[in-house]
Amino acid sequence: MVQGYSEDSIRTLDWKEHIRKRPGMYIGKLGDGSAADDGIYVLLKEVIDNSVDEFMMGNGKKIDIHVSDLRISVRDYGRGIPLGKLLDVAARMNTGAKYDSKAFKKSVGLNGVGIKAVNALSAAFSIKSVRDGKIKVIDFSKGDVVNESDESLTEEPNGTTVVFTPDEEIFRTYHYIDEYVIAMLKNYTYLNAGLVINYNGEKYVSKNGLYDLLNENIGQEPLYPIIHLKGEDIESAITHGNQYGEDYYSFVNGQHTVQGGTHLAAFREALIKTIRDFYKKEFEASDIRASIVAAISIKVEEPVFESQTKTKLGSRDISPDGMSVRNFVMNFIQKELGNYLHKNPQTADVLLRRIQESERERKAISGIQKLAKQRAKKVSLHNKKLRDCRLHYNTNHENKENSSIFITEGDSASGSITKSRDVNSQAVFSLRGKPLNSYGLTKKIVYENEEFNLLQAALNIEEGIDELRYNKVIIATDADVDGMHIRLLLITFFLQFFPELIRRGHLYILQTPLFRVRNKKRTEYCYSEQERDVAVKLLASGVEITRFKGLGEISPDEFKNFIGEQIRLDPVILNKNESIVEMLEFYMGKNTPDRQDFIIGNLHVEKDEI
C-alpha cells in the first residue's frame, strides 16, 4: 500500500479548477508572449475562432478586435449566442452549437472547451450577446460569476462581444507582440475571402485568399507567377524563390496547423509525384522542393487534431464515404497542378530550370557534405562544442517543445551558462571567436567552415529544420559591440541558409541584466537604465550598483536567475514586407557608405552611467 494514499487522496475538480491546475492541457505552453504559440495567443485565437465560424456560416462580415494594456476585446456581428444559453456557453464544459453539424459544418472549434479555458484563465472575463433586439451580459473572474445582468432591450446590432484579461497568476509577466497578432489575423482573412478584421484601428481584408498570403510572405520576386488552385473544400498556392529551404503554410478549417499533419504530408507527396510525372524524370524530392513557398488549406467535417491547440492535423478521413485526407489532397494536386503546367509552358520551363539548378548545387556539394559530416564526428562534437541536455527530442515531441540551446562565445560565458542551466532541457553550444560573414556565399560554406558545420550538426538541420533538435535556438552574447557583431553574424547565417528557422519562430536573443542594484536586505537585477533608476529609488539607502560588462562576469549562481522561469527572450521576427535578399545586402553587403549614413541618422546617445 502506498503511504498516504486513501479515499481522502482522491478528489474531483470542477471545470475551472481543472483548467487552472492543468492549463497546458488546454492551451499548450504558457510562455510570456515572446513566442507565437504561447498561451496568451491561444486564448485570443479561441475567442476569434468562434467569431470566424459565424462568418463561415454566412453571419456577420466583420470582427472588431482591440488589445490595450493586456485587455483584449473581440466583437463579431454574427447571430449572437442565444441569451438563455450564455452562461452555459461560457462556463459549462462540453457545451456548444458545434456538436450540431447542421449549425456548424466544418468549423474550427469542435469540443466546447476553448471559450471556457479563456474564462477560467482570465482575471476578468465578460461575455455579451445581442440577439434580435435583446442583450445580456455576464462578468466572470477566474471562471466564477461576479455579475449577471437580466435580459434587456437594445438597439445594438446582433453579435457577441468577449472582453478578457489573462490572469497574471497563471501567465506571470506577459505581453502581446503586435507582429504575432497581426500575422494571426491576416491568416484569418486569407482563409475567409471578404472577412474584414479591424485591429486597433487597422483594417485587414483579403480578396484572393492564399494567393495574397504567398504574395505578401514570399519577401522577394517569385521565379514564376504564383500558381493558385481552388476547388471545393481545398485551396493551394505554389511558387519558388531563390532562397534556401522550404516554406509551407498549412491550414484546416481556418486553423493554422503550424506543425502540419496528414494534409501537408499529402501535399508534399503529391507535388513530387505530379512534377516527376509531368517532366517524366525521377528528380530527387529535395531538388523539387528546394526554395519552394507554398500554402495548402482544406476543410474537413469534424477534424481530429493531435492536441487542443489544433496545431497538427491527425484526421485520416475527410468525408462520410471514407475518402482519406491523403487521397483527397493527392487527387486535387495531381489533376489541377498537372493541368496548370500543361497550359502554362513558360512557368513549366522556369520551374524545370529551378529544379535542375538545385540538382547541380546538391551534386556539387555532396562530396564536401560527406567529408564535413565525418569531420564533425572526429572532433567529438558532443564533448567539445556541445553540452547537450538529457531529453530525447527526436522521439518525444512534447520534450522537444520544452527544449532550448544557447549559442554563446568564449569559455567564461559558456562556462557560466553550462553550470547554471537546467541539464534536462537546456543545451549549450560554444563558438570559437567570431563567425564568418556568410552573406553572398553558397551553401558550400556551411560544410567547409568548421564552426557553421558543427553548429548545423548540433541543431540537426542538415536535411532541413523538420528534425530541429531544440524548440528554441537562443543567441547568448555580451551586450557590447563584439557581442552585437556576433549576434548579427549568426542571424545572417540563419537568414541566408535556414530562413524557415526564423519564420517558424525558433530563433531568440537572450536578454541578460546590465546592472545589479543591491543593499544589505535586497538585490534587484536591471535590464536597462530605467530599471536601474527605479531600483535605486526602491532600495533607497546603502545602494551598491554593479555594471555587468559581459556574461562571463555573472556568476553561475546568479545566472540561474536569468535562464530559469524568469528568462527574458526577444524573438527574432522577420518583417513580412521586407525582402531577405535586400535586407542582407544593405546590412551585410559592401555598401559601407550607405550603412554609415544609416547609423549616423539613427544614432542614439545614452546618458552617462551613474
Domains of the chain: 16-204 (3.30.565.10), 210-362 (3.30.230.10), 381-512+550-601 (3.40.50.670), 515-547 (no CATH)
What's the average model confidence in pLDDT over 349-354?
A: 95
Structure confidence by residue, pLDDT tens digits, 69-107: 789 999 999 999 999 889 988 887 655 454 344 434 455
**pLDDT at residue 591 tops 50:** yes
SS3 141: strand
pLDDT surpassing 90 at residue 387? no
3 state DSSP class of 366: helix
> 3-class SS at 386?
strand
User: What value does the mean pLDDT of the chain take?
Assistant: 83
Question: Given this model, what pLDDT does residue 41 score?
Answer: 92
What is d(CA 389, CA 403) in angstroms, rounded to the nearest whole number? Answer: 8
CB 143 within 8 A of CB 131: no
CB atoms under 10 Å from CB of 189, counted, come to 22
Per-residue pLDDT at 240? 94
What is the Cα–Cα distance from 308 to 22, expressed in whole angstroms? 13
pLDDT of 540: 85
Residue % of the chain over a pLDDT of 70:
83
Strands of the sheet containing 255-256, edge to edge, are 227-231, 234-240, 292-298, 247-252, 255-256
Band (pLDDT 50/70/90 cuts) for residue 47 is: very high
User: Given a cut of 70, is residue 392 above it in pLDDT?
Assistant: no
pLDDT at res. 396: 45
d(C-alpha 70, C-alpha 165), whole Å: 6
Determine the pLDDT at residue 318. Answer: 57
Evaluate if residue 428 carries a pLDDT over 60: yes
Query: Which pLDDT band, with edges at 50, 70 and 90, does 196 fall under?
Result: very high
Lowest mean pLDDT among 222-231, 293-302, 388-397, 487-496: 388-397
| Global confidence as pTM | 0.79
**Residues 26-52: b if buried by 16+ CB within 10 A, e if exposed:** bbbebbbbbbbbbbbbbbbbbbbbbbb
Q: What is the DSSP string of 524-560?
A: EEESSHHHHHHHHHHH-SS-EEEE--SGGGS-HHHHT
Residue 279 pLDDT exceeds 90? yes
Average pLDDT over residues 351-366: 88
The model's pLDDT over 306-347, given as tens digits with 9 standing for 90+, comes to: 655 556 666 556 554 556 888 899 999 999 999 999 999 999
CA dist 166 and 142 (Å) reads 9
What is the distance between the alpha carbons of residues 283 and 301, in angstroms, rounded to a whole number?
Answer: 36
Instruction: Say which range, 19-33, 70-84, 390-404, has the weakest mean pLDDT.
Output: 390-404
pLDDT at residue number 174: 87
User: Predicted confidence band at 268 (pLDDT cuts at 50, 70, 90)?
Assistant: very high
For residue 162, give the C-alpha cell: 468577449
Residue 374 has pLDDT above 80, yes or no: no
Tens digits of residue pLDDT in 432-448? 878 888 888 888 887 88
As a whole number, mean pLDDT of residues 142-170 equals 92
Mean of the pLDDT values across residues 184-203?
93
CA dihedral 54→60→61→66, nearest 10 degrees, is -80
More confident: 394 or 427? 427
The grid coordinates listed for 175 are 505581453
Poorest-pLDDT segment among 300-304, 416-420, 530-534, 554-558: 300-304
Q: Are 477 and 409 in contact (CB under 8 A)?
A: yes
More confident residue, 436 or 371: 436
pLDDT(499) > 60? yes
**Nearest-CA neighbor of 76 among 106, 98, 54, 108?**
54
pLDDT top residue among 481 and 187: 187
What integer pLDDT is reported at residue 99 of this predicted model? 39
**DSSP state, residue 422:** -
DSSP state of 608: P
Enter the C-alpha cell of residue 316. 485520416
